[in-house]
Structure 1
Amino acid sequence: MDSTFFILQILIYLLPKVNSLNFSYPSVFIFGDSNSDTGGLAAGIAFPVGPPNGQTFFQEPAGRFCDGRLIADFLMDAMDLPFINPYLDSVAAPDFQNGCNFATGGSTVLPAKANAISPFSFGIQVAQFIRFKARVLELLANDKKLQEYLPSQDSFGQGLYMIDIGQNDIDGAYYSKSDSQVLALIPTILSELQNGIKKLYEEGARNFWIHNMGPLGCLPRIIAIFGKNTSKLDELQCVGSHNQAAKLFNLQLHALSADFQAEFPEAKVIYVDIYSIKSDLIANYSQYGFKQALAACCGYGGLPLNFDTRIACGETKVLNGTMVTAGACSNTIEYVNWDGNHYTEAANQHVSSQILSGKYLDPPPNVDLHFS
């Protein structure tokens, strides 16, 4: 292994541990899509998340659309908290003392359509949380021994509410709408998101981390489908229309966050600029020790994208008369993208370290990232 790359990876690993920010919450409640899903879709609809997913860290599939840990997992590590269990996993270890993950792959902000991968839209996730909280308080009132497995009443108000959703709304819209129609849909998406956040506030939530949308047009799947005409590509060699939509979504999401903070001064709303972190990573990938910015590690077809819409990561099937497998690359830490749609553990680790540096948070932290 290249020594410079090895040193860079060690530094990235250590950054969350040695950052000067006091990032600490008693519990975390996560809402979102596959970027944050730790097993919800696999449990909820038996969606197949098989090998090689999970191979880097868990050595087996762990419900995550990744070779290892997600951004949310690294943030839990930074707080010395265990990974947050998915709400829908009925046969996992029944431990929700430090929070609950309602995120599911494929989820949208707007109510799910009949043909959607996930029926668990943001509104459903919020409703699940409300039921979860009510049930927890009911159980704790009857049996104090359950405090070992369930969040305390105080932790609902002191906990962190992490929200990362909206990508699938924009992504899906492009398959049936024009650029202008997609952009016109954004206020409707954000209105639904705002309604859900207000419901969480009414339930006692006070600490919000709202992640903006990453550069959607830089996903290998999007480039393979919408970027065949090179005139459609931007300076990152990503699909410009999708990235512009993400930027407009983020601009309005930023305004929503500021307006919500002004309307509810008791809340602490942190806007997390994922777009800037990921676009910087893709633009300067070699400086961060990566060798491939836009190719999928787990895919089929070879460079430059190693992605074929006919076969998903881990699948084996006959293509053009030949049995082929979409397998993983030999060294996942060299790749930013995992499967054409999601990032590798190495990329998630980098993104997490940048989040924890405080440089991409608005308002920027003084030192203390713990609000209560």
Structure 2
Amino acid sequence: MDSISMVRLVLPLLLLTLPTAISFGYPAVFNFGDSNSDTGNFLAGLGGSLGLPNGRSYFHRPAGRFCDGRLIVDFLMDAMDLPFLNPYLEAIGAPSFYRGCNFAAAASTIHPARGDSISPFSLGIQVAQFVRFKEKVREIQAQSRNLGKYIPGEDYLENALYMFDIGQNDLAGAFYSKTLKKVLATIPTIMSQFESGIQKLYYEGARNFWIHNTGPLGCLPQNIAKFGSNDPKKLDEHGCVRTHNQASKIFNSQLFGLCKRLRVQYADAKFTHVDIFAIKSNLIQNYSIYGFRQPLMACCGHGGAPLNYDSRISCGQSIVLNGSRVTAAGCEADRKYVNWDGIHYTEAANWYVASQILTGKYSDSPLLHKMP
């Protein structure tokens, strides 16, 4: 049996575990981002719900995630031997924040939310929520030590990992009203706003920063359908929108440069930059090697090949189109699709991305951390 056939055979089994040789010592994780790492904040903060088939692959019910199962952050938490992160805005059920908290919310941006923004929870707001969280933790600790199992201690806050996966919506949303040139012109301002968020967390005592760059936006079915379907010349050899991927690369280049400057400015802090673009691009370009059949077609959608994406209907919804009721239902083989709903990745693809992150090959500094 050749190596490619072996990978195709064992991939479904590997999805049950996430092998890693990396030993972590982070006592807690605080995550900031958009729907790529949102574990329920968007729905808790703005109301609404996600129905099946969202969540069906692992949770067997909707779990606040825009996915059929686990996200990259869920797999990373497993690898760190930490529980899944509870969303900051989810109060029902009295979740424990002892080992961290998730501030990420779907549709969020780095730049401040505007009147037409889908999510009000921009990075600045998420950072402000963390500051509020920290203040409440200290207040509760001063009043009672009996709640220690629900909230992190001061040493946990100091030695925690502060993780970021945000920026996708800043670029993707801009293309609806701006040319590529104008989109690129906004990136320096976005970087400045990202730096401001990092600085505020640093002044709050954060020292371990783990920053994901943005993925290949031009390979999302949503963007292909909107910006590439009517003109094949706008697509590259892999079927992705050239302008969107070009913007992603320039954004990532400036983000990488910012991380290098932050290391110099804050010498007592650790900044790890993770090249998510390279990981996801490799998956899409070489999908068959990793056991996938569909690199660009949405698993849960409407419209059939080649994209199975219709902006008028979301995954799990049923609406009337052209006089007939249609449903955006999930495909039969989630693990064979890279894309879940036209915008987000499947659990299988998220597992692959997380497994590659944990090799350390896509990071510009070691992932290893030991508490002092």
Change (3 A) 1:371 1:215: farther
Change (3 A) 1:370 1:217: farther
In structure 2, runs of 5+ residues without a counterpart are none
Judge conservation of contact 2:107–2:118 (CA < 8 Å) in 1: yes
* Separation in structure 2 between the aligned mates of residue 183 and residue 117 of structure 1, nearest angstrom: 22
2:362 counterpart residue number: 360
Offset of residue 122 of structure 1: 0.3
* Deviation digits for residues 106-143 of structure 1 (CA, Å, limit 9, x no counterpart): 00111111121110100000000001001101101111
2:202 is the counterpart of 1:211: no
Judge conservation of contact 1:21–1:369 (CA < 8 Å) in 2: no
Which residue identity does 1:107 align to in structure 2?
Answer: S
* Deviation digits for residues 252-294 of structure 1 (CA, Å, limit 9, x no counterpart): 0000001001100110000010000000000000000111000
Change (3 A) 1:138 1:187: same
| Matched positions, count | 367
1:231 counterpart residue number: 233
- SS of 2:147's partner is helix
- SS of 1:224's partner is helix
2:162 counterpart residue number: 161
Judge conservation of contact 2:301–2:308 (CA < 8 Å) in 1: yes
* Separation in structure 2 between the aligned mates of residue 79 and residue 357 of structure 1, nearest angstrom: 13
1:94 counterpart residue number: 95
Question: Residues 61-80 of structure 1 correspond to what in structure 2 (within 5 A)?
Answer: 61-80=62-81
* Separation in structure 2 between the aligned mates of residue 162 and residue 269 of structure 1, nearest angstrom: 10
In structure 1, runs of 5+ residues without a counterpart are none
Offset of residue 308 of structure 1: 1.0
Judge conservation of contact 1:41–1:104 (CA < 8 Å) in 2: yes
2:276 is the counterpart of 1:274: yes
* Separation in structure 1 between the aligned mates of residue 293 and residue 371 of structure 2, nearest angstrom: 39
1:258 to 257, 260, 274: 260
Q: What is the root-mean-square deviation of aligned Cα atoms in Å?
A: 1.4
Which residue identity does 1:257 align to in structure 2?
Answer: C
- SS of 1:208's partner is strand
1:151 counterpart residue number: 152
Offset of residue 53 of structure 1: 0.7
2:107 counterpart residue number: 106
* Separation in structure 2 between the aligned mates of residue 151 and residue 192 of structure 1, nearest angstrom: 28
Change (3 A) 1:369 1:355: farther
2:8 is the counterpart of 1:5: yes
Judge conservation of contact 2:8–2:289 (CA < 8 Å) in 1: no
* Separation in structure 1 between the aligned mates of residue 300 and residue 323 of structure 2, nearest angstrom: 21
Judge conservation of contact 2:218–2:240 (CA < 8 Å) in 1: yes
Judge conservation of contact 2:7–2:290 (CA < 8 Å) in 1: no
Judge conservation of contact 1:213–1:275 (CA < 8 Å) in 2: yes
Which residue identity does 1:132 align to in structure 2?
Answer: F
Offset of residue 146 of structure 1: 0.9
Judge conservation of contact 1:312–1:326 (CA < 8 Å) in 2: yes
* Separation in structure 2 between the aligned mates of residue 351 and residue 136 of structure 1, nearest angstrom: 33
Question: Residues 160-199 of structure 1 correspond to what in structure 2 (within 5 A)?
Answer: 160-199=161-200
- TM-score, normalised via structure 1 length: 0.96
1:351 counterpart residue number: 353
- SS of 1:358's partner is coil
Change (3 A) 1:227 1:128: same
Offset of residue 9 of structure 1: 3.0
* Separation in structure 1 between the aligned mates of residue 157 and residue 320 of structure 2, nearest angstrom: 50
Change (3 A) 1:47 1:249: farther
Judge conservation of contact 2:55–2:65 (CA < 8 Å) in 1: yes
Which residue identity does 1:222 align to in structure 2?
Answer: N
Offset of residue 6 of structure 1: 4.1
- TM-score, normalised via structure 2 length: 0.96
2:294 counterpart residue number: 292
Identity %: 57
Which residue identity does 1:10 align to in structure 2?
Answer: L
* Separation in structure 1 between the aligned mates of residue 182 and residue 251 of structure 2, nearest angstrom: 13
1:314 counterpart residue number: 316
2:340 counterpart residue number: 338
Offset of residue 38 of structure 1: 0.1
Offset of residue 3 of structure 1: 8.1
Offset of residue 370 of structure 1: 4.0
- SS of 1:324's partner is strand
Offset of residue 310 of structure 1: 1.5
Offset of residue 47 of structure 1: 3.5
Judge conservation of contact 2:160–2:206 (CA < 8 Å) in 1: yes
Change (3 A) 1:146 1:172: same
- SS of 1:29's partner is strand
* Deviation digits for residues 304-361 of structure 1 (CA, Å, limit 9, x no counterpart): 1011112111111111121111100011000000000000000000000000010000
Judge conservation of contact 2:7–2:289 (CA < 8 Å) in 1: no
* Separation in structure 2 between the aligned mates of residue 6 and residue 208 of structure 1, nearest angstrom: 36
